[in-house]
Amino acid sequence: MATHQIVQLPLVTAPLKARMRRNRLRVLLFLAPGLVGFTVFLIYPLVMTVWLSFTNSNMISQAQFVGLRNYRYLLDGDPLIWHAVRNTAWLVVIMVPAQVLFALGVAMVTARLKAGASLFRTLFYLPALAPPVAATVAFVCMFNPNSGPVNRILGLLGIHGPLWFNSPDWSKPALTLLALWGSGTMMVIFLAALLEVPAELYEAAELDGAGPWHRFRYVTLPTISPVVLFATVTGVIAGLQYFTQAMVASQVANGNIQPAPGYPDGSTLTFPQQLYIAGFNQFHAGYACALAVVLFVVAMAFTVVLLRRASGFDIEESPR
């Protein structure tokens, strides 16, 4: 054993070290593009955002350190931030699960179709190709309580349609309908996962007497769980960053040329919108950075919690 001790190592260290250094440099060289991109587009903005959140930056003149003032204003001073928090929370808790369930449901139906499957898959996917702004404008017009076709059809059925995007109670459900309509991308991902589930598993389950629910619960769901997790995590992050559709819908529904964030009655004001208004309309970039830091922390927390919870949702550990 003693002869195996590397007593001669110091003798070969010098050339080995040089080679190792060259190797390391080579590795660094190959890593450089990635490292530069990572630093430029992630680390630097992140560090700067955290720093600016402690300043009175307006992104034009020299920023001064103001301690926790922006965070205090967030908790105690901003009259609109809790509207924004509540609305964003609503979207994450209601809209995102609705979107996941709807996309999964549509994918399951189209996966089973024997005839016209391609046609239906295309039809359900098509809305995802519509630019969000155009889709939102079209949706607000369709749901116009005065002249839109939706309320007209509801009227024919004897139902007095709501004010949709013009009502604080209905604006978020209307945005949810828009999200469901445009969930084609999620549907396609689910569809791909569903088509990958081995048919023999279903056959075995059927032989064991499993009904449709049990086949879904014990065969389909465990197999596609990584995809469900992916859809949920990305959906939650998208929900936390929900901006364009809410911004456009409020302006179009208000009918005014000026942006009307939150119309009606603050019901569509989301956290990222409030961040944008603070940073770009009100010259409070420091405060906007504080909001961005909070958003980042919340998104991270959601992701970590979802990933941890998902360990019991994995195919290997799932009950059979």
Pick from 85, 260, 289, 292 the residue near other proteins by CB under 8 A. Answer: 260
Taking CA atoms, 219 is separated from 100, 191, 194, 211, 253, in Å, by 19, 15, 10, 11, 45
- Angle at which helices 96-112 and 184-196 pack, to 10 degrees? 50
Coil, strand, or helix at residue 55? strand
**Residues 92-131 within binding reach of other proteins (CB under 8 A):** none
> In terms of CB distance, is 53 or 220 closer to other proteins?
53
Q: Is 81 in the site for other proteins (CB under 8 A)?
A: no
Q: Is 256 in the site for other proteins (CB under 8 A)?
A: yes
**Residues 176-235 within binding reach of other proteins (CB under 8 A):** none
**Window contacting other proteins (CB under 8 A); options: 70-78, 184-192, 291-299, 300-308:** 70-78
Question: Nearest approach, Cβ of 182 to other proteins (angstroms)?
Answer: 22
Say how far residue 177 (Cα) sits from the centre of its chain. Answer: 17
Taking CA atoms, 139 is separated from 18, 40, 155, 169, 272, in Å, by 66, 38, 18, 17, 22
Q: Is 26 in the site for other proteins (CB under 8 A)?
A: no
Question: Nearest approach, Cβ of 24 to other proteins (angstroms)?
Answer: 5
Q: What is the CA radius of gyration of the chain?
A: 26
> In terms of CB distance, is 65 or 280 closer to other proteins?
280
Question: Nearest approach, Cβ of 298 to other proteins (angstroms)?
Answer: 22
Dist. CA 255–CA 54, nearest whole Å: 38
Q: Is 158 in the site for other proteins (CB under 8 A)?
A: no
Question: Nearest approach, Cβ of 256 to other proteins (angstroms)?
Answer: 6
In this structure, what token pair is assigned to residue 37? 């991109």
**Residues 277-296 within binding reach of other proteins (CB under 8 A):** 277, 280-284, 286-287
Say if CB 235 and CB 190 are below 8 A apart. Answer: no
Dist. CA 218–CA 231, nearest whole Å: 20
Pick from 44, 75, 122, 300 the residue near other proteins by CB under 8 A. Answer: 44
**Window contacting other proteins (CB under 8 A); options: 88-96, 113-121, 173-181, 255-263:** 255-263
Across the strands, what pairs with 65? 55
Coil, strand, or helix at residue 181? helix
**Window contacting other proteins (CB under 8 A); options: 3-11, 16-24, 177-185, 194-202:** 16-24
Dist. CA 275–CA 80, nearest whole Å: 11
Please name the residue that has the structure tokens 């139902």. Answer: 159
**Window contacting other proteins (CB under 8 A); options: 28-36, 91-99, 126-134, 238-246:** 28-36
Angular region, 131: left φ>0, alpha ψ -120 to 50, beta rest? beta
Give the amino acid at 273.
Answer: Q
Q: Is 254 in the site for other proteins (CB under 8 A)?
A: yes
Question: Nearest approach, Cβ of 286 to other proteins (angstroms)?
Answer: 8
Pick from 18, 22, 30, 35 the residue near other proteins by CB under 8 A. Answer: 35
Q: Is 144 in the site for other proteins (CB under 8 A)?
A: yes
Coil, strand, or helix at residue 65? strand
Question: Nearest approach, Cβ of 12 to other proteins (angstroms)?
Answer: 14
What is the chain's length? 320
In this structure, what token pair is assigned to residue 171? 């604006």
In this structure, what token pair is assigned to residue 241? 């960053």
Residues in touch with other proteins (CB under 8 A): 17, 20-21, 24-25, 28, 32, 35-36, 39-40, 43-44, 47-48, 56, 58-61, 69-70, 73, 77-80, 83, 144-147, 163, 166-168, 253-257, 260-266, 277, 280-284, 286-287
